[in-house]
Chain A
Amino acid sequence: MGNNEEKAYRKQTGEEGPFIHLMETSRHKYLYDVNTNEVLRISDELYEYFRAGKPLDESGRESLHRLREEGYLKENRTRIVEHPLTELLEYYLKYKMSHLVLQVTQSCNLRCEYCVYSGAYHNRTHSDRRMSFEMAKKGMEYLLAHSRDSGRIGISFYGGEPLLAFDLIQDCVNDMKREAEGRQVDFHFTTNGTLLTGEKLPFLVENHFSILISLDGPEAIHDRHRKFAGSGNGSHQTVIQNIRKIQEQYPEFYRSNIRFNTVLDPQNSFAEVEQYMTGEELFRENRLLCNIISDMYSKTRSVYGEVFPAEYEYGIAGHYLAMLEGCEEDHRFRMLQNYAGQIKRIAEMSRVGRQECLSERGHRGGPCLPGVRKLFLSADGFFYPCEQVSESSKASRLGDLESGIDLEKAGNLLNLERYTREMCRDCWAYRYCNICIARADDGETISAPYIQRSCAFMRESVENDLLDYCTLRDLGYDFG
């Protein structure tokens, strides 16, 4: 950095003050120190000093001095935007890929309004496009050739409804069994469950498929969205019939390899869904997941009903209580287990130990290593970082089967902060930001205003997570 740049930087940062964020619960007040990545419980007096500049008395000044002495309240910001893994990205892409998602078909036999293919989203619509076996084979070969440092590799079959291409799935699995000699390959798919019929089961069981079935709750709620194309009839009964058959014929496989995902429509009652999913004997031993209808690329915003927010919050509180009681995997609100994932990530980061300060060269949290943990191959042969991004935007496209992954493009997606440098550098949620390309791409290009749309929500989530983490920690939860 030259002198002028240095001066400009000092001018910029000279009056910035400590890089901190203030938070409070009904019981305590906290200061999140961005540089050290620590959350400190502080006195009301100090809190008011930082919040409103209220003068400190003798003991307050002493506390402030102590904080500074202990290395808190630094002003440091990252000066040069570069993701720390940028220079290693080439090697990750060469040797460390681990999961390929094959979009075997874009067709679906259901028409759910909230589905990304329903027409309610900018990035996809249903079509009868289907992946050829040759294309899938090339994709799998690409994975094998670029994963020598990955102990396990996985292949997911994605749709539309992937079971509409069951013959292709069979061909792919059989091919991998021949070609992936010496490798452990895990197979996965997400399905609406309507085509999970008896004749397919021996194959799926034999190949240890991990299956995620979408089930939105009791019949009335499930059928409100998940309707058969053409007839418009609800699909709940069909799905339940199929599930019961698996449970009868392959109880062990059913218990260990089948999970359920519930898409929560916030217009519905959360309690009704939760009571059904955790109360029904049929799902008693299965892992349950849930997520709220996605707004990403959506043409409309989700509308929240009156009861949902309170019931959902109540569920989260219930889950935390279960965590404190040591029964987080087996309790009434277990479908919210994933919600606690982010808090555990905070706990993991805090386990690394206190940080000195933000690096001079660095990048905010958020972007994954594009194509490394997951690589999505669309039915028309293009690579994307994952199945969540827009297939209609070239900005998200990493490359194609013929020429492989474009390192420069991947580097660009990894360094998204370059698009929002000014607004990111002073954001207190810098370390925990989770905005990636899926929230950065307006359908045409990577767009700073589009990214900014997600900032407030992201910061609110991070603050909630940090406070939940502190509360659980203060109440004695052992994060390990």
Chain B
Amino acid sequence: MEQLMIYPYHRGVEAVVRHQDMLTDWKLAGLVSPKGWGLGNDTVVSGAKKYIVETEYETVLKRCDGVWFVEDGTLKLPPALLERRLRQAIAGGKQIIYTRKRDPEAYENAVRMIPETLRILPVDTEIPDPSGRAVTYCMDIHTPVVAVMGLEENTEKLEVQLALRQAFQKRGYRVLSVSSGMGTEMLGMYSFPDFMLQPGIGETEKIIRYNHRIAALEKREEPELIIAGIPGGALPFNRYNHNGYGMLQYEILEALPVDYLVLCLPWQPDLHKRVQEIGMDIKNKYQIVPGAYHLAAITQDTIDLVSEKEREFLTLDRDFIRRKIKEENDPHLLDVTDGKSCDSLTEDIINCLSEQE
């Protein structure tokens, strides 16, 4: 197994570290965060292993065979620094896994910079895609589907998808995971397809193409369960921060017959009431009631609640979240990073799916 460094490390990548045993062909050897991000010396626990976040890129680079350049979190990597780090990795002859696709132009530039011999772009080109063909209908999906959706961005959707996948695999199920993120092939998942985020493709075509993609994967892998991650936020927060009005979520829920929905949400005051309201809103909008709510260890930064600027979030810790969940005493509200909760969620899903059969 080759040694892998993740750069730039931030809290959004914690799920990958926690589930590093799912990395295919790679062994996680270092987490590096830019010095100014204030994450140096943070500890990330993955089972019995502990990883310490480092800030000395060059030092860690020496002991690694490859660098996974991941998407930014709250803090943005300045382009000049990214270029410098890429050049250092290239100069060191390291393999480069580059999944920073949020900015297509920057992505293309970076890809051009990386020599083909070092470049690993985890894109599965073998999945049949009906693009360009006159397909006008959706296929039947026969496998039960669990969807993982976020009320907002940054609500630990990837964590939930990975935890569920692991839990089901442990129980012997064949799981097909189509993630809410890009570049998750590294973890044995299929990435969210690019075409779903491309402008210029109509909603109907997106629904049909997504459906056909899943159908093709279902045929190829013959799974017993499909876990589909849905990127973005499901409901508009206010007139300025509208989360794309949930259009993407609507498209996917049209494309897939979802049997069980896990909704990830940030902690918020008056939680019991809010969860009920959110559940109703989701039902009214998407015609499905969440079977469970994962409470992410973040909350809305309410200082600028009414301003037009992009919303910001505040990191909380697991103890806080678990305390709040305990106070609520609601079996549908949980934190999947807690093994017991993840197990009970898995059982609940199995029971629900069995009843539906």
Chain A residues within CB distance 8 Å of chain B: 84-85, 88, 91-92, 94-96, 144-151, 179-185, 348-349, 351-352, 369, 372-373, 480
Contact = CB atoms under 8 A, between A and B. Distances in A.
Interface of B: 8, 10-11, 33-39, 55, 74-78, 81, 269, 299, 301-303, 305-308, 312-317, 320
B301 A182 contact: no
B306 A351 contact: yes
Contact of A148 (B38, B76, B303): B38
A307 to B, nearest CB: 38
Contact of B74 (A149, A180, A372): A149
A371 to B, nearest CB: 13
Contacts of B269: 84
B314 A149 contact: yes
A349 B314 contact: no
A151 B269 CA distance: 24
Contact of A348 (B33, B38, B306, B312): B306
Given A149-B313, A150-B74, A182-B36, 14 more contacts: A88-B314, A91-B299, A91-B315, A96-B314, A145-B38, A148-B37, A148-B38, A148-B39, A148-B315, A149-B314, A179-B36, A181-B55, A183-B75, A352-B305
20 contacts: A91-B315, A91-B316, A91-B320, A92-B314, A96-B314, A147-B38, A148-B37, A148-B38, A149-B301, A150-B312, A151-B75, A179-B35, A180-B36, A181-B81, A182-B36, A182-B77, A182-B78, A183-B36, A349-B306, A480-B308
A87 to B, nearest CB: 8
B75 A148 contact: yes
Contact of A144 (B36, B81, B306, B316): B36
| 5 tightest Cβ-Cβ pairs between the two chains A and B | A182-B34, A180-B36, A183-B36, A181-B35, A348-B306
A92 B314 CA distance: 7
Contacts of B316: 88, 91
A49 to B, nearest CB: 33
Contacts of A183: 34, 36-37, 75
Contacts of B308: 480
A85 B76 CA distance: 27
B84 to A, nearest CB: 10
User: B interface, by DSSP: helix, strand, loop or mixed?
Assistant: loop
A149 B38 CA distance: 10
A182 B9 CA distance: 12
A96 B301 contact: yes
Contacts of A147: 38
Name, among B38, B78, B308, B316, the residue most crowded by chain A CB atoms within 10 Å (CB to CB): B38
Contacts of A91: 299, 314-317, 320
A182 B306 contact: no
A183 B78 CA distance: 8
Contacts of A373: 303
A346 to B, nearest CB: 11
A369 B303 contact: yes
Contacts of B320: 91
A95 B314 contact: yes
Contacts of A349: 306
Contacts of A351: 306
A361 to B, nearest CB: 10
Nearest to A96: B314
Which of A85, A183, A185, A351: most chain B Cβ within 10 A?
A: A183
Most chain B beta carbons < 10 A, residue from A150, A179, A349, A369:
A150
Given A96-B314, A149-B314, A182 B305 contact: no
A434 to B, nearest CB: 15
Nearest to A347: B306
A480 B299 CA distance: 27
Nearest to B313: A149
Contacts of A184: 76, 78
A92 B312 CA distance: 12
Contacts of A180: 35-36
Nearest to A178: B35
Contacts of A352: 305-306
Contacts of B37: 148, 182-183
Nearest to A85: B302
B38 A144 contact: yes
Contacts of A372: 303
Given A181-B35, A182-B75, A183-B34, A149 B303 contact: no
A319 to B, nearest CB: 22
A183 to B, nearest CB: 4
A88 B299 contact: yes
A182 B317 CA distance: 24
Contacts of B8: 182
A144 B269 CA distance: 28
Nearest to B55: A181
B106 to A, nearest CB: 16
A181 B82 CA distance: 11
Contacts of A185: 36
A348 B307 contact: yes
Contact of A182 (B35, B299, B307): B35
Nearest to B297: A91
A148 B74 contact: yes
A146 B315 CA distance: 11
Contacts of B313: 149
A95 B315 contact: yes
Nearest to A345: B306
A182 to B, nearest CB: 3
A152 to B, nearest CB: 9
A107 B200 CA distance: 62
A351 B306 CA distance: 7
Contacts of A84: 269, 302
Nearest to A147: B38
B36 A181 contact: yes
B249 to A, nearest CB: 24
Given A182-B75, A351-B306, A369-B303, A146 B314 contact: no
Nearest to B308: A480
A480 B308 CA distance: 10
Contacts of B302: 84-85
Most A CB contacts (10 A, CB to CB) among B10, B39, B77, B315 go to: B315
Chain B CB within 10 Å, residue with most, of A147, A149, A349, A480: A149
Contacts of A150: 74, 312
A151 B77 CA distance: 11
Given A84-B269, A91-B314, A182 B39 contact: no
Contacts of B76: 151, 184
A85 B35 CA distance: 29
A169 to B, nearest CB: 19
Contacts of B35: 179-182
B42 to A, nearest CB: 9
